[in-house]
Amino acid sequence: MHGHRWRAASALLALAPAAAAAQEAAPAIPKEHKAQADRAQEMVDRLEAGDKTASSLAAARALREECLASGNHRSAKFLAGSIVGSFPDQLADHRRYIEILLVRGDVEPALEDLRALVKERPTDCAAYAMLSDLLVEQGLPDRAMDVHAAHLREHAWEAGPLYARAAIALWELRDTATARAEAESLRQAAVQPRVRRETSDWLRANAAVIEEGAARMEKDRGILGAASRRLDRFLWGTLAGAALALAAAGWFTRRRP
């Protein structure tokens, strides 16, 4: 028994320096963050107790932004989530919560939350744009195109998603045929009833930009293709010449009977 206790004590003594080193290496939580965390908890308790007035919402927003400004993303997320739960109709606060998730590097939760938001609130144009941008950043432009298609089913001929689809098709997918089709959709939107003059002009101008970009991309591909074919011909000629040279060398160096 004494031997077991001695070995256990020795093991604890051996671990003590490592634990102390880990404690020293861990960054100390700033006093400001600790104070903010306490205030955030008080605010959340206040909201959950039913204090859902305009003044409490304003105070919660102010504290959330204060936490963000000081780099206290943990408390900012905690408070932002409580605001969303307490004031579900405040879509701007919901989007702010998602932005905080992204600041923290929580990409997958942000994607899930955005998908849920556009499903529950299909009229929230900003949420569609956020989801599309995030999908493009994640290397998923096809899914971003689908997001804008869903947006257009809710808001037909909307200028923003129409242009976004054209731009993604051209610059992300590098699909000139699809980009030209989307440019045509921009022109069709420009002549829809009740479209304001400035919006119509914007749609036409951007359709031209997409068309020019598609033409330039196709021209560049043609030039690169021609250069590649010239290089192929040169390489094949070089290989053929080398083969002939080897054959000739073999002929002249072979032993005569």
94/126 same-domain check: no
Would residue 78 count as lying in a domain? yes
Smallest Cα–Cα separation from 86: which of 59, 53, 38?
A: 53
What is the CATH classification number for the domain harbouring 157? 1.25.40
Q: Within a domain: residue 166? A: yes
Given a contact cutoff of 8 angstroms between Cβ atoms, the answer to whether 189 and 162 are in contact is yes
Tell me: the pLDDT tens digits for 218-240? 998 877 666 566 656 656 666 65
Number of domains composing the chain: 2
Buried-exposed string 70-88: b where 16+ CB fall within 10 A, e elsewhere? eebbbbbbbbbbbbbebbe
Please give the structure tokens belonging to residue 145: 């195109």
One domain for residues 168 and 122: yes
Residue 64 lies in a domain: yes
* Of the candidates 66, 95, 73, 69, the residue with the CA atom closest to the CA atom of residue 83: 95
Q: How far apart are CA 61 and CA 46, in angstroms?
A: 14
Domain containing 91: what range?
A: 36-105
When comparing pLDDT for 19 and 134, which is higher? 134
Rounded average pLDDT over 116-133: 95
* pTM as predicted: 0.74
Question: What confidence tier does 46 reach under pLDDT thresholds 50, 70, 90?
Answer: very high
Say if residues 166 and 179 touch (Cβ distance below 8 Å). yes
Using alpha carbons, select from 102, 100, 101, 98 the residue that is nearest to residue 118: 98
Q: Taking the CB of residue 135, how many other CB atoms lie within 10 A of it?
A: 22
What is d(CA 70, CA 138) in angstroms, rounded to the nearest whole number?
28
Query: Do 137 and 160 have their domain in common?
Result: yes
| Cα end-to-end span (Å), the chain | 97
Looking at the structure, do residues 59 and 129 belong to the same domain, yes or no?
no
